[in-house]
Amino acid sequence: GGELNVEAETGTIFVAQPLDYEETKIHEIHLLASDGKWEDYAVIIINVMNKNDESPVFSINEYYGSIIEELDGLSVFVLQVVNVDEGDLRYSLHGRGAADTFTIDENTGSIYAHRMLDREERALWRFVILATDEGGDGLMGFADVIINVWDINDNVPFFTCMPDDCNGSVFENSPADTLVMAMSAVDCDDPNVGLNAVLTYRITGNVKNEFGTDMFSINPNIGTIHVVRGVLDRERTANYFLTVEARDGGGLTGTGTATIWIADATIPENSAIDSEVLQVSAADADAGENARLTFSIIGGDPDQKLFIENDKEWQCATVRLKKKLDFEKARERQFNLTIKVEDLDFSSTAVCLIEVEDSNDHSPVFPFQFIQAKPFFENMPAGTTVTTVRATDKDSGLNGNIIYSVKSNSDPLRQFAIDKHGHVIVANKLDREVIQKYSLIVQASDQGMPAQTGSVTVLINLLDVNDNGPEFEAPYLPVVWENALRPEIVHMNHTSKLLYAFDPDSEENGPPFTFSLPPDYQNSLDFSLTDNRNNTATITALKSFDREKQKVFHLPIVIADSGIPAMSSTNTLTITIGDENDNCHESGHKEIYVYSNKGKYCLDITSLLNSIFLWLTYF
pLDDT single digits (tens) 328-384: 888 888 888 888 888 888 887 777 778 888 888 899 999 999 999 999 999 999 999
Give the C-alpha separation, 315 to 173, whole Å: 19
Gyration radius of the chain over CA positions: 58
- Evaluate if residue 112 carries a pLDDT over 80: yes
Give the per-residue pLDDT at 606. 44
Which residue did the predictor score with more confidence, 136 or 400?
A: 400
Handedness of CA 95, 100, 101, 106 (dihedral sign): positive
What integer best gives the mean pLDDT of the chain?
85
Give the C-alpha separation, 292 to 310, whole Å: 11
- Evaluate if residue 518 carries a pLDDT over 90: yes
Of all residues in the chain, the percent with pLDDT exceeding 90 is 41
Confidence grade of residue 619 (pLDDT, cut at 50, 70, 90): very low
SS3 585: coil
Domains and CATH numbers, the chain: 4-47 (no CATH), 57-150 (2.60.40.60), 158-263 (2.60.40.60), 271-357 (2.60.40.60), 370-463 (2.60.40.60), 471-578 (2.60.40.60)
Of all residues in the chain, the percent with pLDDT exceeding 70 is 90
Give the per-residue pLDDT at 46. 86
- Top mean-pLDDT range of 65-79, 81-95, 333-347: 333-347
Give the per-residue pLDDT at 76. 63
Give the per-residue pLDDT at 81. 61
User: Closest Cα partner for 141 from 89, 68, 186?
Assistant: 89
- Evaluate if residue 17 carries a pLDDT over 80: yes
Give the C-alpha separation, 245 to 301, whole Å: 43
Residue-by-residue DSSP string for 274-324: T-EEEEEE---S--GGGG--EEEEEES-TT--EEEEEETTTTEEEEEE-S-
Which residue did the predictor score with more confidence, 51 or 80?
A: 51
- Top mean-pLDDT range of 99-113, 340-354, 483-497: 483-497
- Evaluate if residue 274 carries a pLDDT over 80: yes
Give the per-residue pLDDT at 253. 92
Confidence grade of residue 616 (pLDDT, cut at 50, 70, 90): very low
What's the whole-number mean pLDDT along residues 109-123?
Answer: 82
Long-range contact pairs involving 21-24 (C-beta distance under 8 Å, separation at least 24): 21/48, 21/49, 21/50, 21/51, 22/54, 22/84, 22/85, 24/48
Which residue did the predictor score with more confidence, 255 or 12?
A: 255
- Evaluate if residue 38 carries a pLDDT over 60: yes
- Top mean-pLDDT range of 172-181, 243-252, 261-270, 416-425: 416-425
Give the per-residue pLDDT at 391. 96
pTM above 0.85, yes or no: no
Confidence grade of residue 51 (pLDDT, cut at 50, 70, 90): low
Give the C-alpha separation, 137 to 466, whole Å: 112
Which residue did the predictor score with more confidence, 85 or 66?
A: 66
Give the per-residue pLDDT at 605. 45
Say if strands 253-263 and 167-171 run parallel, antiparallel, or are unpaired: parallel
Give the per-residue pLDDT at 136. 65
Give the C-alpha separation, 548 to 582, whole Å: 10
pLDDT in tens, 212-244: 888 899 999 989 898 887 567 776 787 889 999
Give the per-residue pLDDT at 612. 42
Contacts of 449 (CB under 8 A, 6+ apart): 360
Give the per-residue pLDDT at 86. 53
What's the whole-number mean pLDDT along residues 412-429?
Answer: 95
Handedness of CA 515, 518, 523, 525 (dihedral sign): negative
- Top mean-pLDDT range of 340-344, 426-430, 544-548: 426-430
What's the whole-number mean pLDDT along residues 68-85?
Answer: 62
- Evaluate if residue 613 carries a pLDDT over 50: no
Give the per-residue pLDDT at 562. 92
What's the whole-number mean pLDDT along residues 458-473?
Answer: 94
What's the whole-number mean pLDDT along residues 167-175?
Answer: 75
Q: List phi, psi (to 5°) of 508.
A: -70, -20
- Evaluate if residue 584 carries a pLDDT over 90: no
SS3 464: coil
Burial status of residue 51 (CB atoms within 10 A of its CB: 0-12, 13-18, 19 or more): exposed
User: Closest Cα partner for 202 from 157, 261, 169?
Assistant: 157
Task: Please name the helix (run of DSSP H) or strand (run of DSSP E) that holds residue 538, with its range, or none.
Answer: strand 536-541
Least confident stretch, 465-469, 507-511, 519-523: 519-523
CB-side neighbour CA atoms (13 Å) of 580:
10
Least confident stretch, 305-309, 345-349, 553-557: 345-349
Give the per-residue pLDDT at 119. 81
- Evaluate if residue 617 carries a pLDDT over 60: no
Give the per-residue pLDDT at 53. 66
- Evaluate if residue 99 carries a pLDDT over 80: no
Give the per-residue pLDDT at 413. 93
Give the per-residue pLDDT at 1. 58
Which residue did the predictor score with more confidence, 296 or 583?
A: 296
- Evaluate if residue 607 carries a pLDDT over 50: no
